[in-house]
Amino acid sequence: MKKILIALLVFTFGFFLLGGFQYASASSITQGEYAIKLAEKLGLGKNLSADAAIAALTKVEIMPANGFKPEDSMNPVIADEIAQAAGKACAKGLLAPLSCKEVDAIVSYLNEELELTPPSAPIPPPPPRHPASPAS
């Protein structure tokens, strides 16, 4: 009886865990959708298709290291690559009407809004305490 109960608990837990992963992946944004949002927020066009947004961003040298893959999901690593590319493009004057501070704010806000910020590094534990030296 215990084996059946344990198997049922494991199956139930696995079922809910799998459902959670499917929900999370279904709600993610694609690189194409991200490109549309970013291009529009940077004033590179309105009502853009994914291809047009990617072309507009690429023209001003804003793209991830391996280029955009419109159907692939966004993740914090790609978002960071795009943020760095936007900073470089701004420094080159490719986003002329906007200041670099504005560009950084736009990209940062979009990444936060879409939960694409990398997780913060864990705080390291304090160094071990050394016992007081014995009295002589």
pLDDT digits (tens, 9 = 90+) for 79-109: 999 999 999 999 999 998 899 999 999 999 9
Q: Is the pLDDT score of 55 beyond 80?
A: yes
Six-digit token string for 10: 């494991």
The span from the CA of 82 to the CA of 103, in Å, is: 11
Whether the predicted model's global pTM rises above the 0.75 cut: no
The span from the CA of 134 to the CA of 136, in Å, is: 6
Q: Tokens 């994914």 label which residue?
A: 50
Q: What is the pLDDT of residue 126?
A: 78
Q: How many CB atoms lie within 10 A of CB 4?
A: 8
| Region of 72 on the Ramachandran plot (φ > 0 left; ψ -120 to 50 alpha; else beta) | beta
The span from the CA of 7 to the CA of 28, in Å, is: 32
Higher pLDDT, 58 or 18: 58
